[in-house]
Structure 1
Amino acid sequence: MTQAQQSAASSDNPFFHEYDGIHNTVPFDRISNKYYEEAIDRGMKIQNQEIDAIVTQSAEPTFENTIVALERTGADLNRVLNVFYPLLSAMSDDELMDISLRVSGKLSQHSTGISLNGELWKRVKAVYDDRDRLDLLPEDAMLLERTYDSFARNGAKLEGEQRDKYRELSSHLSDLTTKFGQNVLKELNTYEIWLEADDLSGLPESSVEAAALAAKEKGKEGMYLFTLAQPDYMAFMKYSDRRDLREKFYRLYNSRNTKGEYSNIDIMSDIADTRRRIANLFGKSTYAEYALEKTMAETPDNVNKLLTQLTEAYRPAQLKEFAEIEECAEAIEGHPVKLQAWDYSYYSNKLKERKYNYDEEELRPYFELNNVIDGVFGLATKLYGLSFTYNPDIKVYHPDVKAYEVKDDNGKYIGIIYADFFPRDSKRPGAWMTGFRDECISASGDSVRPHVSIVMNFTKPTGSKPSLLTPYEVETFLHEFGHALHGLLADTKYASLSGTAVYRDFVELPSQFNENYLTRKEFLDGFAKHYQTGEPIPQRLVDKIVATSQFGAGYACLRQLGFGLTDMAWHSVTEKVDDPAELERKANEPVAMFAEVDGCSFSPQFSHIFSGGYAAGYYSYKWAEVLDADAFSVFLKNGLFDRKTADSFRKNILTRGGTEHPMTLYKRFRGQEPTIDALLERDGIKPSLELPQTVPVNKD
């Protein structure tokens, strides 16, 4: 940026002051890339000044003048980062990625500088050492504990060369994880698979229309353009009659980032090794040991125990499922078929159609996006009394995004939720929840309400049809909305303990809990209606959803366990990995279901663990699945929309964030610790008096 450009940016930089829009929402219409770097530099400078004021004060360290004061620092920096990072995932471009590469190291050094500030650490430690005499409220005590742990786990106790090494490794790790995530997005956007009409056998009309529209936009009418974006890829693998093309799609999708300009092979080995070396500085032999200390699981042994327990419980079901699918495939093809990785979605769907007369495409017309929005938001209305009102005057970062005001049943303002539904080149794959502002009580005593965002990649509208979702996409919406409720309903004093700021293996409870409603007729009756006729979803289709809810439970569980085992393998290494493919193969041996495919590996695209905060934590999806099934069993007993039960779930789980240990919160709601029984019953692994009530679908 030239000096003239910098001066112009400084004069009207929207990050330099509090926002003055509706509910102080982000003025996206006034934000451009030129403002980020300047605002980040300024924010770091201001936070350093705020910390200097804490350190140089003459007063003895107290909870208020040190711990709370530190919590309040960084508002100017957070204001820009709370926009920068969400948009880096949802609305990125080459310039924004370049900015990210430039600032990642500086931000890492800034964060490390705070953690390694010796005088600040002395004050934090002094307050912590005096904690038993402070008579703190539980939330204050947790803030003190989390603050102390943050310093201790980020190098404050290190000295001399170890401290310097920690600075170096932390900065290097930040650069590596940023590069990994950018490579995933950049390579995904390079794939264009051009097909002709003869190649489309078996594909649903919605997929064909979308591919034709994409080709037309590229100036090639009469052709069909497919990408590896999730809606394209998943539909093709499930419906295409062309086994050769399914194999082609599979190999392309699963060999991404393994070679060429956007290869992550060396990067992920460096990431794992850098994390290991950081853990070594803290006296841990592996990163998993270090990372799991502050989780519900606590140790790698406890994680591996759960993964092994579930493998043993679900493997017989998976083998039975595969035998049945291969029998179906043989009947279709007229010869024996050995399932390959690119066959499962196709032949399992054929079996589901034959066994239950189930066609997911038959369900799409009943899940028109606007109706689904009403239904998913309506779930929070029934459970918690919330209302959601679209406000077109709130600025958004893309025309596809919609912003809603949220109020409780007394009309009290709760917060803002942004919804971003469709794929685009600037958005990474998958689905996630994030926030532009966290809930807290300000220094002046005002309630700061949260602004949260849910981001997905749903099937886009075409020229002739609106966006019609599959049950999987509805479930994804429910999942991310559960995270959003965790943020929206937060009622805490401190932003660092608010909403989803909880242990990694607890954070998925609210999201996965919501998924349980997908196959409940009482829920579907409220919104699932044909987009053309307005006819409610017929009972026969609801019955099919329920009847098929346990279909593929063995495969689904082992697939998810494979991700968890691979994550644990990467973060249990005691030396640098020279052969990533072999590490992945060995990790997956206990749950392997298909023959190996040369050149294919999912680790190079595994953003969750290499750039998304789930390092040594991917098991948490299964851990939280045990919790969500156990929690939902209370609603099955008391009533799906029982307000007393919902109020308890809201009060003890959704509002409290990280203010207390998650097991304390869970037991306060449930009355006991969870067991795996409800999960096994739900998936049909263990007999139950209840009909199966949840479609077992994985989130990767």
Structure 2
Amino acid sequence: MTKNNLRHIKTLGLCALIAFTGCKDEAKKEDTMAKNDNILLQEWTGPYDGVPAFDKMDISDVKEAVEKGMELGLEDIEKIANNPEPPTFENTIAAMERSAKELDRVFTYYGILSSNMSSPEFRDIQTELAPKLSDYNSKISQNEKLFQRIKTVYEALQSTPLEDDQQRVVDLTYKSFEMNGANLDAEKKKRYAEINKELSSLYTKFSNNVLHDEENYVTYLNENQLGGLSESFTKSAAKIATDKGQDGKYAITNTRSSMDPFLTYSTERELRKQVWNNYYARGDNADDYDNNALIAQILKLRKERVGLMGYDNYAEWRLQDRMAKTPENAMDLMMAVWPAAIARVKEEVTDMQTVANANGDKITIEPWDYRYYAEKVRQKKYDLDSEEVKQYLQLDKLTQALFYTAGRLFNYEFTPVKEGTVPVFHEDVNVWEVTDKDTGDHIGLWYLDPFAREGKRSGAWATTYRSYTTFDGKETVLASNNSNFVKPAPGEPVLVSWDDATTFFHEFGHALHFFSSNVKYPTLNGGVRDYTEFQSQLLERWLSTDEVINQFLVHYKTGEPIPAALVAKIKKASTFNQGFGTTEYLASALIDMKLHLADPENIDIDKFERETLNELNMPKEVVMRHRTPQFGHVFSGEGYATAYYGYMWADVLTSDASEAFKDAPGGFYDAELAEKLVKYLFAPRNSMDPAEAYRLFRGRDAKIEALMKDRGFPVPQS
């Protein structure tokens, strides 16, 4: 998942994930910059068309840099808005594409400090800057002169069309302003800006509350409490405990990468319950860091804001420019899958209870038992031990597998950058140069930040420090993948689960989407939320190909390739536990949508979550993947608000596209289909309508049948 970053604060001032750009232009600005020696504002220098000066990044520079960046950005906007020449694409839309480059650079650093290296000091700065950034956004989105120029260009192209990509930029720009209140009267605009300002502070507080609970709820184990845990896991847990001043103990941190394997393998049921409770209570501990009241206020403000523009609810407003178009369409998809998912959970729980009873474990399956007994069922049904599989999933080998896949499909080559050549923000970060295998042309740099640490948000994500464009000269890509693998003890390999390996491929799919861009204008590097997860979900499928398995899955001690019999078991078990995986995801997506369709007045968030799940017949043994008080996708910003369903929408496309590769003469490495994959699904980014792009690839619209087959669910009869 895409995974959120702060580069969505574009010159447009909109809360949409649109890459923003800027310019270095007139002498006045150059003179201003010459007087300002803040490193975060300065143009990037060095190799590879310039790189961020991460080695010189300092928190003390942030506040000044952001404030100065906003000042310079507004100068750009005022110049465009007050241009005495009649509005044209070049002097209005293209000029906006060139605006606020200094702030763009600042937010590369800001995003790192927020997501990868947060600290109490930085969080204080975030809290102070959030309302100021909201004001900055409002000064742009509510600039009447600017909007009238945009509107003039937009209306002119209805009778005199531009080039396709120019027309797309104009359409997206106009629609974004329109959706963000540009047509409101002065009084409503004022209230709109006030709401955005308040929301910006609430989003920051929500994120920091979750991060607080992740950092402060750590479970420490003694030597006699390690039953079932692997040697590599306990060594890592011991190192983390020592780093936290608890030498001789073993730390289970409050992140998914630590929680998940502990719940899967630990024989200590009461400790499993404790770790489970810590994780799923983040933001919900009835203390100063509780998020429930914040969420209620966020929902009220979102509804009020879209009400100013005449919408009945936030979901109706948000989905109008997505593939789903309406909340009803999104709900129809989710509810088409939901009954099959919860029915499968019942079957899975029955199987687990049978195993527990046969073991003489006098228990009834509870949520903190699900992973543990699911693993027992996996071993019994498929003779497949996840811990055995992990012995063949080394992070360094999986990284090479990513490069192999990119080489076969995209013709890319990844070469490690010599240490010290490119500045990094932490010693864990490594950098590779990406080139075209045939021509040797430089494509960009790929940064990998793989390990969990204090101050780094949980999960996995991808981001760009610089996106591809050509309209003012070619800009090459600086892309980053970020994970939260548990760092091993010195000298030990990083072994990951099959699910974690899948996520690794997923996030790399986002990076390939960045690298393959062929767009001219920066705005076209954005995306439609329920489509941009498709490319990354599709890339997950290459992990299971014979070419990857046979070359890169080798035993971490012996170097022996993974046995064919074990591979057969993995593939046979591919639909195993789909009830759990689909239900925990869909529960979060359904709650997201239903919260934004509900009346938020006097809403009790915990009660709403509980009662809605009961109405949906949510199995008591499964919990939402992201419970509402920790649902950062939806409440730390607006990128995924009423859009978490998008993963399933994208997965319909993924399953359908995968069938095309299965049926191709060359399978998943078919050269002709790979060329169409890059040409229509990756390279265009948002330069064409996603539905049309998919039809160009597939020859038709996607169908849900492939998704149901992939999950082992009954296929609906047409």
2:631 is equivalent to residue 603 of structure 1? no
Amino acid at match of 1:346: Y
Q: Which residue of 2 aligns with 1:550?
A: 575
2:672 is equivalent to residue 644 of structure 1? yes
Q: Which residue of 1 aligns with 2:652?
A: 626
Given the alignment, which residue of 687, 690, 712 partners 1:659?
A: 687
* Offset from partner CA, 1:150-197 (integer Å, 9 cap, x none): 111111111132111001001111111111111111221012212212
Does structure 1 conserve the Cα–Cα contact (< 8 Å) formed by 2:292 and 2:606?
Answer: no
Aligned residue runs from structure 1 range 146-225, under 5 A = 146-225=172-251
Given the alignment, which residue of 448, 461, 466 partners 1:437?
A: 466
Amino acid at match of 2:311: K
**1:596–1:383 Cα change, 3 Å:** closer
Given the alignment, which residue of 434, 437, 457 partners 1:428?
A: 457
Higher mean displacement: 555-564 or 212-221: 212-221
| CA RMSD, Structure 1 to Structure 2 (Å) | 2.0
Amino acid at match of 1:506: Y
Amino acid at match of 1:628: T
**1:354–1:27 Cα change, 3 Å:** same
2:705 is equivalent to residue 677 of structure 1? yes
Q: Which residue of 1 aligns with 2:67?
A: 41
Q: Which residue of 2 aligns with 1:314?
A: 341
Amino acid at match of 1:423: A
Q: Which residue of 2 aligns with 1:241?
A: 267
* Offset from partner CA, 1:483-539 (integer Å, 9 cap, x none): 1111111110111111xx111100100110011122222221121112222211111
Query: What SS does the corresponding residue of 2:463 show, helix, strand or coil?
Result: strand
Aligned residue runs from structure 1 range 7-406, under 5 A = 12-23=37-48, 24-258=50-284, 259-333=286-360, 335=362, 337-391=363-417, 392=419, 393-406=421-434
Higher mean displacement: 456-465 or 233-242: 456-465
Does structure 2 conserve the Cα–Cα contact (< 8 Å) formed by 1:509 and 1:628?
Answer: yes
* Offset from partner CA, 1:572-626 (integer Å, 9 cap, x none): 12233431112112332325111699x9982111101111521000000111111
Query: What SS does the corresponding residue of 1:342 show, helix, strand or coil?
Result: helix
Does structure 1 conserve the Cα–Cα contact (< 8 Å) formed by 2:54 and 2:109?
Answer: no
Task: List runs of 5+ in structure 1 lacking aligned partners.
Answer: 1-6, 689-700
Amino acid at match of 1:257: G
Rounded to whole Å, the distance in 2 between the matches of 1:49 and 1:243 is: 61
**1:59–1:219 Cα change, 3 Å:** closer
Amino acid at match of 1:460: K
**1:514–1:367 Cα change, 3 Å:** same
* Offset from partner CA, 1:405-458 (integer Å, 9 cap, x none): 101122111111111100000101101111111211243xx1101111110011
Rounded to whole Å, the distance in 2 between the matches of 1:644 and 1:591 is: 46
Does structure 1 conserve the Cα–Cα contact (< 8 Å) formed by 2:255 and 2:279?
Answer: no
Shift of 1:657: 0.9
Query: What SS does the corresponding residue of 1:419 show, helix, strand or coil?
Result: strand
Shift of 1:215: 2.7
**1:11–1:281 Cα change, 3 Å:** closer
Does structure 2 conserve the Cα–Cα contact (< 8 Å) formed by 1:415 and 1:450?
Answer: yes
Query: What SS does the corresponding residue of 1:506 show, helix, strand or coil?
Result: helix
Query: What SS does the corresponding residue of 2:484 show, helix, strand or coil?
Result: coil
Shift of 1:464: 4.9
Query: What SS does the corresponding residue of 2:378 show, helix, strand or coil?
Result: helix
Rounded to whole Å, the distance in 1 between the matches of 2:491 and 2:82 is: 66
Rounded to whole Å, the distance in 2 between the matches of 1:219 and 1:645 is: 54
Amino acid at match of 1:85: G
Shift of 1:123: 0.8
Amino acid at match of 2:691: M
Shift of 1:208: 1.6
Q: Which residue of 1 aligns with 2:603?
A: 578
* Offset from partner CA, 1:105-145 (integer Å, 9 cap, x none): 11111111111111111111111111123321221111001
Does structure 1 conserve the Cα–Cα contact (< 8 Å) formed by 2:214 and 2:255?
Answer: yes
Shift of 1:219: 4.5
Does structure 2 conserve the Cα–Cα contact (< 8 Å) formed by 1:652 and 1:668?
Answer: yes
Amino acid at match of 1:189: E
Rounded to whole Å, the distance in 2 between the matches of 1:656 and 1:340 is: 46
Query: What SS does the corresponding residue of 1:440 show, helix, strand or coil?
Result: coil
2:482 is equivalent to residue 469 of structure 1? no
Does structure 2 conserve the Cα–Cα contact (< 8 Å) formed by 1:183 and 1:262?
Answer: yes
Does structure 1 conserve the Cα–Cα contact (< 8 Å) formed by 2:460 and 2:482?
Answer: yes
* Offset from partner CA, 1:353-405 (integer Å, 9 cap, x none): 11222111112221221111101121111111111111121111100011111
Amino acid at match of 2:702: P
Query: What SS does the corresponding residue of 1:557 show, helix, strand or coil?
Result: helix
**1:600–1:304 Cα change, 3 Å:** closer
Query: What SS does the corresponding residue of 2:481 show, helix, strand or coil?
Result: strand
Rounded to whole Å, the distance in 2 between the matches of 1:531 and 1:10 is: 55
Query: What SS does the corresponding residue of 1:508 show, helix, strand or coil?
Result: helix
Q: Which residue of 2 aligns with 1:496?
A: 523
Query: What SS does the corresponding residue of 2:574 show, helix, strand or coil?
Result: coil
Amino acid at match of 1:609: V
Rounded to whole Å, the distance in 2 between the matches of 1:539 and 1:595 is: 34
Rounded to whole Å, the distance in 1 between the matches of 2:34 and 2:483 is: 32
* Offset from partner CA, 1:9-43 (integer Å, 9 cap, x none): 97532233311122211011111112222221122
* Offset from partner CA, 1:56-108 (integer Å, 9 cap, x none): 22211111111111121111111111221233111111121111111111111
Query: What SS does the corresponding residue of 1:457 show, helix, strand or coil?
Result: strand
Does structure 1 conserve the Cα–Cα contact (< 8 Å) formed by 2:296 and 2:600?
Answer: no
Q: Which residue of 1 aligns with 2:23?
A: none
Query: What SS does the corresponding residue of 1:640 show, helix, strand or coil?
Result: helix
Does structure 2 conserve the Cα–Cα contact (< 8 Å) formed by 1:627 and 1:674?
Answer: yes
Shift of 1:8: 14
Query: What SS does the corresponding residue of 1:455 show, helix, strand or coil?
Result: strand
Does structure 2 conserve the Cα–Cα contact (< 8 Å) formed by 1:559 and 1:591?
Answer: no
**1:45–1:588 Cα change, 3 Å:** same
**1:600–1:251 Cα change, 3 Å:** farther
**1:199–1:9 Cα change, 3 Å:** farther
Does structure 2 conserve the Cα–Cα contact (< 8 Å) formed by 1:459 and 1:468?
Answer: no
2:481 is equivalent to residue 454 of structure 1? yes
Amino acid at match of 1:209: K
Rounded to whole Å, the distance in 2 between the matches of 1:203 and 1:660 is: 49
| Residues paired across the two proteins, number | 676
Query: What SS does the corresponding residue of 1:447 show, helix, strand or coil?
Result: coil
